Amino acid sequence: MINCVRANLAELKLNRVESYNLYREYNHRKKITPEQASIPYYINGIKKPSYKQVEKILTGIKEVGRELMELEIR
């Protein structure tokens, strides 16, 4: 039973990343890797990001900010 749950969670994580990448591809943005989907673990204190990962996260946040500034609300 536990192995089944772990397998389902792993599949769910991959599906989440794949779905997000489809959205990013549609919007002509760079895809992310499953490692980048670890942010909830960082937020909840389950894992600690490396310095390099923190830099990537900050770059992503800035990119999202730029995307939001480009939005036109009609």
Give me the percent of the chain exceeding a pLDDT of 90.
5
Alpha-helical runs (H) found in 1-74: 2-26, 39-43, 51-70
Give me the percent of the chain exceeding a pLDDT of 70.
85
Average pLDDT over residues 13-36: 81
Average pLDDT over residues 25-43: 80
Q: Check: pTM over 0.75? Answer yes or no.
A: no
The domain limits of the chain are 2-70
Comparison of pLDDT for 73 and 5, the residue scoring more: 73
Cβ(32)–Cβ(24) below 8 Å = yes
Q: Confidence band (pLDDT; 50, 70, 90) for 72? A: confident
CA atoms of 4 and 1, how far apart (whole Å)? 5
